Structure 1
């Protein structure tokens, strides 16, 4: 078998990338695209919807072709995205949340202007009851103090937000958040079922496409516009058999996001929890994504059952070098030379 460097060189010389609508003939070519044996959602999207979405700037689709045969080997789509951090929040139990929400409401009521004497007395009574509820429901006095401070802060934030929205007149259409972070959403990734390079490769084809085609594309974009993160919604679990009791944090799975997985990873007839773990492990171990934890990502209804994965753009180049080092145990590429 050829060395890793020769395999990569071959693919580099024999694969080209085109914008979906670079040629009018592409509109017919994409109808021949077939998804790998696991599902057909992504193939159907390219066959029937991608052209219009690309034309309307809903997404940008790119075809990876074999230079010699013009066969579409792979396609991917990129969107602008955004992450955000909610206004300061803390984790609370249902009882704690009840106490906090009642205090926020009571503070808001007591701060209203133009109240009559009777209404002011009622508002202060409501406020007193809200504070008393913490003594009644929260045994830990230190925790109660933290929650009360948080409720007071939230009441002030709500007041400022309402005042700002009233001045701007756009409260119905604006969500106030603590911080926003620019990102790129990898909307689709899919290999053609019938494509095989004319060289035996020791790594998954999807790994090459991601690290040597998509990552350089993202890095180029990041030089033109702010882009801190890249994320994707992977592994729809709609086809996973339901059990009587499902774990709250079950990893989501989909046969439709195969990303060049080898056939031994997914079985066409079964969709077990073990398959789920293998698939998500592929994203994490080979494409170096991680589960999102710190920020919030807006997720379309279409991808509601997907597992959200993310990584930092600034780390992509280093990870790109590391992934090939892991495949180059004999140091044929000289990656671990001192």
Structure 2
């Protein structure tokens, strides 16, 4: 029987604030594109019937084989991505491939923040305005609640905002708009909360890359520039280049969760957008509208996710599982200069190592 995948039907757009280019040495769009390439490589490997190594990676991360036949209705999560999704029942594997394929192929950059579905910022959240919100609405469960408003994008952040300042990244998607089509009204007496012609994209989310992320990037680039170990890694080297350099001298890497490269962080945060509706480990559909990500959320968080009883596996709704799958697809193509066909994948020999995220180099990696 032919496999049914989600068909990407809506072109989606992302906007990069100038603060991101300033913090990431004019490389930020390249990192977004690299995250999309991670997804493309994961789709290619997942849909290959001969790639047994990557099938093992998928089974370890998603706690079920590709051949699992149980089907679910994913309409709630994908009503924006595919208007025909209400009639689609698919397996977890088909669902994962659909998300990755859409992310890999269906996003374009726009210079206009007001129309973008996703907006990236790296300004240390200085644009947020603290306000006291008194309302019976869903924005607050108490009569007086300190909320932070992003007037540039007209979104709220009602999480533990001060602690977000030290995170790798966080995503805000609690809208401050009222009325149809994202029309923005003067909110709580504040002025200047308007988009282009008073309209903001109603499907918008905002991703802030935090201080830990851009400082780690700066440290990595500085290290590469100081070492200049080969002509291949010069001033335009990226975080992924650094990771590749480290791998070239190690046949075994103890813990894949050590990689928190900028593309993988972007990949994770993009999974929180409204088109995919994914959460963080062990969160459910009623989770907070704000995602915050730290180093500790990597491989171990994927292993800690539990399955729901009769519903789809919670891990299928876990953003980090998709980001880690994309990173593993990239690692599968990393090889020393003297090898033509090889790469890194989860340990074949030891199930305990696989669960811990240990990857090894193999000269006969499948494809």
The TM-score bracket by the shorter chain reads: under 0.3
TM-score (norm 2): 0.21
More helix by share: 1
TM-score (norm 1): 0.23
